[in-house]
Structure 1
Amino acid sequence: MQQEVEFIKLSATQNMTILIKTNHPLKDYPKIAAKIMSYDSVHAEQVGFIEKSTNDQATAKLFMAGEEFCGNSCMALACLIASEQQAEANVVLESSGIDDLVLCNVQKNIDRYECQVKMPIPQKIWQSTIDYEGIGRDIVFIRYDSYLHIILKVRSFSNHLKERIQDLARLLGKALDERLIGILLYREESNELAPLIYVPALESMVWERGCGSGTASIGIYLAWKKKREIMEKIKQPGGTIQVSANYTEKSKHVQIKGIVDIVAKGRAYIKL
């Protein structure tokens, strides 16, 4: 069976995101996402479905194909809404993977958009050790409502290390009941991030060129470690995302700011 899918493709710090406007049964979301993300279709790193909000305070709802939360996809949808309104805007969204509303501020800069997003606060942060395939070092776990991030500090981003990290992500995917597992390779001395995002339900594993949620976790980690508010620019393969965060007893907050480009709009034909 072939379905016609209306889509918009956006680049949030080169984290290529497809947003789908047409209505489809929820059960078809994973199949549609897997097909439209593939090399022989529109090709992207992640897919979200635009739904009507059930909350009067929100403009729209973003439902990710793996039912996860995605900061860059929220940023992309907020910028799309602002572009349709042809105005700078404060956009409030509902999103899968999080109960709270997502607050976004969009500013237009010539033919692209700059968006600031208020991100989820983690439930828990802790440090532990891991010894897997020669990876023996201290790591930081950051637990959110619907996903888990693991920060692994490294000196370089070698292909050999990345292959082992992918195997580790698959192993964790089988052992843990998580919608999303992010393993964040972080070079602290240069503020560089290489984020691996694994969504078990979709069997989607991507070394993202820019990761908003991963950037937020790095900000939270730095604020937790330094016991004060921080503001940093985190370098990633696709560019830089800014994060401001605090994680103390008195105050917990985190925001990211990045650039979004609208790349393409059209219709795709998906065989299910």
Structure 2
Amino acid sequence: MELDFIKLSPLGNTTVFLRGEAAQEVRAALLSEAMDYDHLAAEQAGFLVAPHSKKALFRIEMSGGEFCGNATLSAAALAAAEGASSPFFVECSGAEGPLRAEARPLGAGRWLARAEMPQTHGLKRLSLEGFSFGDAAICVSIPGITHLVVEAADLSASDYDALLARLMRETGADAYGVVPFERMGRDHFRIRPYVAVPSAKSCVFERACGSGSLALALAEGSECGRIAVEQPGGTLFVETGKQFFLEGEVLISCRGTVELGNVGL
């Protein structure tokens, strides 16, 4: 099956959007195949589909049906690159309604994108008994994804997997993230995010995570303000208050067609 694709890079969190006719029941397998090394070598992927709301330009359906902050930023950059006048609205799986977004060109295929994030969320403390780096972490649930936010540095791969296993035992979601953070200043943090999407059989140390950055702001109780969240691919900015916004750079790296459907569909 030949499908059109666009590959984008919001701070190195390589994201592939597929366009084309594909039945709902095979999309997850196609997206998983599109992400692999032999195809488009991406950290995450979603389908561009018709929006539910008339005021949105298009909708992103992620591989696990989860919400994705960086995919929403990528959708904003793509909409602007295809001629939309800012501001406009886009949709992402996991979010209940259309999200306000805008983007401006920075040159050489790069865009500075800003997008509204879902406000629905839940917070709860999760015991870290048996771990060596604190007594508790904060579980932050936003539509479609739950993150475990913990103040810790220099975790081992086994620490990440153990935290992820604890999170998955204690909560239910379409996707899960482990977000250890360090304080670099009053409104400046550093994270190394780890995200799992069970339905896509993916578990990735992401170079940047938008929903994880939002989860950190919510866990810290940043009710009204702007924080900088440094991560391996660069810095995302989170604004909280009456509405939540995410801001960061997005590179639109390439477009073309990809041959998929070699996974026994």
With normalisation by structure 1, the TM-score equals 0.88
Match of 1:259 in 2: 249
Alpha-carbon displacement from aligned partner over 1:235-262 (angstroms, at most 9, x marks no partner): 100000111113xxxxx43211000001
Match of 1:233 in 2: 228
User: What are the within-5 Å matches in structure 2 for residues 9-88 of structure 1?
Assistant: 9-85=7-83, 88=85
Displacement after TM superposition at 1:88 (Å): 4.9
Residues 88 and 108, structure 1, Cα contact 8 Å, conserved in 2: no
Alpha-carbon displacement from aligned partner over 1:81-104 (angstroms, at most 9, x marks no partner): 21111x652221122112121111
User: What are the within-5 Å matches in structure 2 for residues 108-119 of structure 1?
Assistant: 108-111=105-108, 112-119=110-117
Number of residue pairs the alignment of both structures matches? 258
Match of 2:94 among 78, 93, 97: 97
Query: Which one is further off, 133-142 or 70-79?
Result: 133-142
Query: Which one is further off, 236-245 or 104-113?
Result: 104-113
Residues 168 and 176, structure 2, Cα contact 8 Å, conserved in 1: yes
Displacement after TM superposition at 1:35 (Å): 0.9
RMSD over aligned Cα atoms: 1.9
Match of 2:219 in 1: 221
Match of 1:189 among 162, 184, 188: 184
Match of 1:243 in 2: 238
Q: 1:215 is aligned with what amino acid? A: S
Residues in 2 aligned to 1:39 and 1:58: alpha-carbon distance in whole angstroms: 32
Residues in 1 aligned to 2:127 and 2:170: alpha-carbon distance in whole angstroms: 17
Change over 3 Å in CA distance of 1:90–1:144 after alignment to 2: same
- Partner of 1:54: helix, strand, or coil? coil
Unmatched segments (≥5 aa) in structure 2: none
Residues 219 and 230, structure 1, Cα contact 8 Å, conserved in 2: no
Query: Which one is further off, 204-213 or 129-138?
Result: 129-138
With normalisation by structure 2, the TM-score equals 0.90
Unmatched segments (≥5 aa) in structure 1: 247-251
- Partner of 1:114: helix, strand, or coil? strand
- Partner of 1:189: helix, strand, or coil? strand
Q: 1:259 is aligned with what amino acid? A: E
Change over 3 Å in CA distance of 1:167–1:176 after alignment to 2: same
Q: 1:269 is aligned with what amino acid? A: E
Q: 2:173 is aligned with what amino acid? A: E
Residues in 2 aligned to 1:92 and 1:173: alpha-carbon distance in whole angstroms: 32
- Partner of 1:184: helix, strand, or coil? strand
- Partner of 1:18: helix, strand, or coil? strand
Match of 2:136 in 1: 138
Residues in 1 aligned to 2:7 and 2:96: alpha-carbon distance in whole angstroms: 26
Displacement after TM superposition at 1:189 (Å): 3.4
Displacement after TM superposition at 1:170 (Å): 4.0
Give % identity.
Answer: 24
Q: 2:246 is aligned with what amino acid? A: I
Match of 1:168 among 157, 163, 166: 163
Match of 1:269 in 2: 259
